[in-house]
Amino acid sequence: MSRLVFVLNGPNLNLLGKRQPEIYGRETLADVEAECRKVAKDLGLDIRFHQSNREYEIIDWIHEAREIAGGIVINPAAFTHTSVAVLDALNTFDHPVIEVHISNVHKREAFRHHSYVSLRADAVIAGCGTQGYLLGIQRVARLIDQGARK
Ligand code: DQA
């Protein structure tokens, strides 16, 4: 299986570090990307790291991942709670999908408790801060390695 993993980030995550730091912390998305690259390298994975505020771009990257990637780690941000289109795109992807939320969405407003993406995700990580991305990458690596051994 491909050892390329797409790490996808939805709307407003470009403001990570500045946006509600009491909820999302002070690390920037560039910091998160650098950490993801370090962890991925140690696990023998390549990553493509993207962020968009536009739903169609997230969908287009999922379509690209369909052709070339062995896994997706996605923080769909607010699209988690609204987007059937992102769910439908993920349903076209045949390899592991890990859903990540920096905050513990279950401790927050009721509208954050429902996730369309969770209907497809193989695992959901919430409330681990930005470490959740690293845990997601580790999990994808494990699943790719298990798939390769089958
Ligand atoms: C988030 C949680 C979502 O409810 C919110 O809309 C976000 C970020 C998180 O990482 O905790 O933008 O996905």
Mean pLDDT, range 105-125, rounded to an integer: 98
Q: What is the band of 1 on the pLDDT scale with cuts at 50, 70, 90?
A: confident
* Cα within 13 Å of Cα(38), Cβ side: 10
- Residue 70 phi/psi, 5-degree rounding, is -100, -5
Give residue 89 CA to ligand 1 midpoint distance, Å.
19
Span 4-60, pLDDT tens digits: 999 999 999 999 999 999 999 999 999 999 999 999 999 999 999 999 999 999 999
Give residue 103 CA to ligand 1 midpoint distance, Å.
7
- Token output for 64: 């690209």
Span 60-91, pLDDT tens digits: 999 999 999 999 999 999 999 999 999 999 99
